[in-house]
Structure 1
Amino acid sequence: MTTPSKHLLLAVSGMTPQIITETLYAIHKKSPEKMPTEVIVLTTATGCERIEKALMGEDNQLDQFCIDYGYQPIKLEIRIPEIGGITLADVRTDSEQEATADFITDQVRKLTQDDSVAIHASLAGGRKTMGFTLGYAMSLFGRPQDCLSHVLVNEPYDQVPDFFYPTQTTVYRFDRDKKNRLDLSKAEVTLGEIPLVLMREGLPNDLIAKENTSYTQVVKHANQANALNTETVVVTLDKDQLTIYCNDMPVKLSAEQFAFYAWMARDTQDAFGEGIEPVNNDMSAHELTKRLRSWLISSLPEVSGVDYTAFELPDLIDEADFPAFKLNVSTLKC
Structure 2
Amino acid sequence: MPSARLTSRNVLLAVSGRTPAVITETLWALERRQGISIDEIRAITTTEGRRCIVEQLLGPGGAFTAYCVDYGIPAGRISFSERNIYVLTRPDGTELEDIRTSEDNESAADQVYRLIREWTERTGETLFCSAAGGRKTLGIYLGMSLMLCGRPADSLSHVLVSQEFESGVKGFYYPPPEPRFYERIAVHGSQEGTSTVCSDAADVELADIPFPRLRELIGGDFPVEKGFTDAVSHSQLLLNYLQAPPPLVVRLDAGSADFGRFSIHMSRQVLAVYCFLLFESESCTGGVSVEDLFERRSVIAELERYMDRFRQGEKESYAWEKMTDLEDFKARIGPCISKANAAVRKALGRNRLAERYTVSTRSRRTVDAGAFRILMSDGKPWPRQR
Give yes or no for the alignment of 1:69 onto 2:71: yes
The CA distance in 2 between the partners of 1:318 and 1:300, in whole Å, is: 18
Distance 1:304 1:227, change over 3 A: closer
For residue 152 of structure 1, give the secondary structure of its aligned residue in structure 2.
strand
| Letter in structure 1 aligned against 2:235 | A
The CA distance in 1 between the partners of 2:88 and 2:265, in whole Å, is: 31
The CA distance in 2 between the partners of 1:16 and 1:35, in whole Å, is: 23
| Counterpart position of 1:39 | 41
Aligned pairs (5 A) from 1:42-121: 42-73=44-75, 74-76=78-80, 77-83=84-90, 84-121=92-129
| Letter in structure 1 aligned against 2:246 | V
The CA distance in 1 between the partners of 2:74 and 2:258, in whole Å, is: 50
* CA RMSD, Structure 1 to Structure 2 (Å): 3.6
The CA distance in 2 between the partners of 1:293 and 1:10, in whole Å, is: 55
- Alignment equivalent of 2:21, drawn from 15, 18, 26: 18
| Letter in structure 2 aligned against 1:139 | M
Is this contact kept in 1: 2:45–2:86, CA < 8 A? yes
Offset of residue 161 of structure 1: 4.1
| Letter in structure 1 aligned against 2:155 | C
Offset of residue 311 of structure 1: 2.4
Is this contact kept in 2: 1:44–1:90, CA < 8 A? yes
| Rg comparison, structure with higher value | 2
Map Cα deviations across residues 124-182 of structure 1 (whole Å, 9 max, x no partner): 11111000000111111111221111110011111224321111222111223153210
The CA distance in 1 between the partners of 2:166 and 2:154, in whole Å, is: 27
The CA distance in 2 between the partners of 1:205 and 1:297, in whole Å, is: 40
| Letter in structure 2 aligned against 1:163 | F
Give yes or no for the alignment of 1:184 onto 2:199: yes
- Alignment equivalent of 2:159, drawn from 141, 148, 151: 151
| Counterpart position of 1:28 | 31
Aligned pairs (5 A) from 1:1-334: 4-32=7-35, 34-73=36-75, 74-76=78-80, 77-83=84-90, 84-159=92-167, 160-177=169-186, 178-204=193-219, 207=222, 213-229=226-242, 233-236=246-249, 245-249=258-262, 265-268=278-281, 270=282, 276-278=284-286, 291-292=289-290, 294-295=292-293, 297-301=295-299, 306-307=323-324, 309-316=326-333, 332-334=372-374
Offset of residue 226 of structure 1: 1.0
Structure 1, gaps ≥5 residues long = 279-287
Which segment is superposed worse, 74-83 or 132-141?
74-83
Is this contact kept in 2: 1:140–1:200, CA < 8 A? yes
Distance 1:198 1:261, change over 3 A: farther
Count of matched residue pairs: 306
